[in-house]
Amino acid sequence: MATNFPASLDTLTNPTSSDSLSSPSHSAQHANVNDAVEALQAKVGADSSAVTTSLDYKVAQLEAISHGKILQVVRATDTTERITTSQTIVDASISVTITPSSASSSIIIIWTARAEADSGSSELGRLQITDSSNNQISGAEDHAFGNKSTDDALTALCVIAFDSPATTSATTYKGRFAGAGGATCKLRNAGVTGQMIALEVGA
């Protein structure tokens, strides 16, 4: 019989020790198994197969897809309280360094913090995400938060930035902060862990 694979599975007859070579046919047995093996090889495909119906070809195509995939994640945390009275942006002692696997990749940076500014209607805190040269990153130029109460108030902040560094060299992103209007800006990392995450997204 000719093989039914891959449309359906074959049912092959196993001869017993008492069967003659003609029943079932010895040559037919070999032919059937050979047909089945050849059909299986065609379905799986040889290495680097160009046959579009083979599994080897299909798997290679899937492995080559990187568009929109998260290729890697790098995370940094900070459990130390950070305080600044500076009205000019200074380092908040949290950073991530990521080495893109492709120059066409994009990087998304997320910084979460439990922040506090002094009481008073004019008191503000400011957060930024910058590169290692202190250049502001798109979407994270200057995030301000205020406090109009008579007491210091905590604010849960999430700053998200987007960058296209166009390099496969290690790239560092930093969190920076400042007060405004005379405020003292505090990051209460000791109570709630501050974290910064960098995600490489395939182009």
The interaxial angle of helices 55-64 and 26-44, nearest 10 deg, is 10
Q: Cα dihedral angle (125, 139, 137, 77), rounded to 10 degrees?
A: 60
Of 7-11, 115-119, 196-200, give the lowest mean pLDDT range.
115-119
Higher pLDDT, residue 64 or 105: 105
pLDDT-derived band of residue 119, with 50, 70 and 90 as boundaries? low
Buried b (16+ CB within 10 A) or exposed e, 61-99: eeeeeeeeeeebebebebeeebebeeeebbebebbbebe
89-99 pLDDT per residue, tens: 999 999 999 99
**Percent of the chain residues past pLDDT 90, beyond the cut:** 38
CA–CA distance, 12 with 27 (Å, rounded to integer)? 13
Higher pLDDT, residue 116 or 94: 94
pLDDT-derived band of residue 150, with 50, 70 and 90 as boundaries? very low
- Please state, as a whole number, how many other Cβ atoms lie within 10 Å of the Cβ of residue 103: 12
| Mean predicted confidence (pLDDT) in 39-49 | 87
CA–CA distance, 115 with 185 (Å, rounded to integer)? 7
Q: What is the CATH number of domain 70-201?
A: 2.60.120.1340
pLDDT (0 to 100) of residue 132: 87
| Mean predicted confidence (pLDDT) in 25-34 | 78
pLDDT (0 to 100) of residue 23: 75
| Mean predicted confidence (pLDDT) in 96-106 | 95
pLDDT at 122 over 80: no
